[in-house]
Structures are given as C-alpha cells and as structure tokens.
Amino acid sequence: MKRARLWIALAAVFACGPAAAQMYKCKGPDGKIVYSDTKCEASHTGDALKVTPMGTTKSDREKAMEAATAEKADADKKAAEKAAERKALAKEVAEEMRGQGGGASAPPTPYQLTSADRERIRELEMTTNSMGANSEQKAAARIQIARIKRGDEAKMSASDRAARDSLVTDLSTTDQPKRERTLREIQSKYY
C-alpha cells in the first residue's frame, strides 16, 4: 500500500513538472534563436527580442480581400454615376419630346427609324460622349438625336439641313460667346 502511494506521488510530481515549466525564446550571441527554461540574459546592446503574436498582422488573403472590396466599391460607384448620367439624359430627352408634343388627344404614331437614322444617332451619341466636344456641341447633338427620333429630321428640306449643318460647324470655334449664340439659334430654329 505504501508503494502504491509512492507511485501515485511520483506520477503526480512528474505530470506537473513539464506543465509548470515555462519556456523562453531567446536570441543567442551568434544571432540564432534558442529555447530555454530560464529567462534570457540581456544582450550587451540592451535590445530586447520583439515577438509579434500570431494573428495580429493581416494575411495575404485578408489584404487581397480588402483590395477586392475596394475595387468593387469603386466599380459600383462608377456604375452608379453612369446610371445617373443615363437617367438624366433620358429625362432630358423625354422633357424635350414632351415640350414638342402639344395637347393632342390621340397618341401620335411613333416614327420608324431608318438605318440611316440609326447610324446618324450613333454618330451623334459619340459626340455627346466625346471628351473633345464642348458643351454646346454636345447640346446640339442631343437636340438632333431628339429630332431624329421624333421624325422631324425626315421632314426637313435640303436647304434647312444645309443651314443647320453650317450652324453646327460654327460650334467648333474657340469663341465661347459665338458658340452660345449659335446654340441659341439652333434651338430656336430647329427645336
């Protein structure tokens, strides 16, 4: 019985020994990492070993996810801006078309665009989206698009078209007041 108690006591001492011991990570004089059960001696320079606990720095995956989130936010913002521009343009064209509609009781039959009309609209849309075009050229292009879609362009005579094209050419000048006068003339005559 005494031997059984002795074995239990010895087992308890050996079981607690490693668990109670504390390990220290030290930098040796040659710069190598050494693990010891005693505290590290201060180096001759007095520098302490700085240990960064795991999980405090961002992993590559976390950094990539943050970058992807930022890119998606930028893409969403740009898409929202483009959608707002399209909505504003559609509203503007609708208002322009409503202003010319009058008070007719029966809705007019929509004008059927020809392939030449569609091609001209594409060219004018390129002007409205061009970074090199000035604001007056873009406004004149939007007016022409609305007129083509309503069918008003098809009703114009050749001389009216030539006069309008001459005015549109004048919009490319660098003289701001002249461009503004020309745009007002286009709006009054052809809108």
Per-residue pLDDT of 87-106, as tens digits, reads 887 787 777 767 655 444 55
Whether the pLDDT of residue 160 is over 50: the answer is yes
Write down the pTM of the prediction.
0.43
Q: What is the pLDDT of residue 122?
A: 92
pLDDT-derived band at 116, boundaries 50, 70, 90: confident
More confident residue, 133 or 98: 133
Among 43-52, 72-81, 155-164, the least confident range = 43-52
pLDDT computed for residue 47 by the predictor: 47
SS (H, E, C) the chain: CHHHHHHHHHHHHHHHHHHHCCCEEEECCCCCEEEECCCCCCCCCCCCCCCCCCCCCCCHHHHHHHHHHHHHHHHHHHHHHHHHHHHHHHHHHHHHHHHHHCCCCCCCCCCCCCHHHHHHHHHHHHHHHCCCCCHHHHHHHHHHHHHHHHCHHHHCCHHHHHHHHHHHHHCCCCCHHHHHHHHHHHHHHHC
Instruction: Give 46's pLDDT tier (boundaries 50, 70, 90).
Output: very low
Question: Which range, 103-107, 109-113, 154-158, has the best average confidence (pLDDT)?
Answer: 154-158
